[in-house]
Amino acid sequence: MGNKNGKAFLSEEDLSYITSHTSLDRSQVDSYYKNFLTDHPKGKINLKSFKKMIEEAYPDSKNVDKFAKHVFRMYDANDDGSIDFQEFMVILYVLSSGGPEDNLKQIFKVFDINRNGSINMKEMKKIVKDLSALKDPKGPKGKKEQEAMAKGSSRRWTRMTM
C-alpha cells in the first residue's frame, strides 16, 4: 500500500498482487478499494477498528475482544499491527471463495498463536476457550457448554497426537 501526499493509494504492484491472488479484475479491486478507504481513510485497519467491525458483525456475541485478536492476527500477514487493503482482500477472498485447503490454512493461522508452524495443546485450549467465551455464559447452557467444549477439545487433541 502506498502513501502519496499523506493519502493512501493502491500501487500497481499491490493491484497486480490482489488480481493474481483472487478472481477479481482491476475495476472490481478499484471499487473495493474506494469503499475500503471510505471506512479506513489511512488505508489500514488497526485492532481497535477491527474489534468494532467484529462487534457489528456479531452483535449477539459476548467477549469478542479475544476472538477479534486471533482473527486480526490471521489477517495481519506481515505482523505490523495493522491490516492493509491487500491483506484484507486476499484473506477475505480465500475465506469466501477459496477451497477447503485454503480455508484450512487460514484456520490454522488462527490456532498457531506463536506463528511457529505448529499447534500445541496450550494454543488449542486458548482458542477453544476464547471462542467459547463468545457465547453468553449466563445463557441457557452457559458455563456447562463452555466446559464441555474445553473437555472435548482435549480429547480430540489426545486422539490427533497419538
Within-domain flag for 104: no
Based on the fold, state whether residues 149 and 79 are members of the same structural domain.
no
| In a domain? residue 131 | yes
pLDDT given at position 112: 86
pLDDT at 117: 92
All residues at 6 or more sequence positions from 99 whose CB lies less than 8 Å from its CB, including other chains: none
Instruction: For residues 93 and 123, state if they share a domain.
Output: no
Q: Tell me the C-alpha distance between 91 and 88, whole Å.
A: 6
Has residue 13 been placed in a domain? yes
Residue 71 structural domain: 1-97
Same domain, 80 and 16: yes
> 58: which 3 cell numbers?
456479531
Beta-carbon count within 10 A of 24 CB: 18
The CATH number for 83's domain is: 1.10.238.10
User: Model confidence over 79-138: pLDDT tens digits?
Assistant: 899 999 988 887 777 767 777 887 788 788 888 888 899 988 888 888 887 777 766 556
Per-residue pLDDT, averaged over 49-58, amounts to 84
36 and 85 inside one domain: yes
* pLDDT value of position 75: 85
In a domain, 59, yes or no: yes
Domain assignment present for 29? yes
* Rounded mean pLDDT, 36-45: 90
The answer to whether residues 29 and 90 belong to one domain is yes
Q: Is residue 103 part of a domain?
A: no
| pLDDT at residue 74 in the model | 82
More confident residue, 117 or 5: 117
**Total domain count, the chain:** 2
**Would 105 be classed as within a structural domain?**
no
**Are residue 117 and residue 86 in the same domain, yes or no?**
no
pTM: 0.63
Whether the per-residue pLDDT at 14 is higher than 90: the answer is no
In order of 25, 30, 68, the CA distances from 10 in angstroms are 14, 8, 26
pLDDT of residue 27: 92
Residue 90 shares a structural domain with residue 133: no
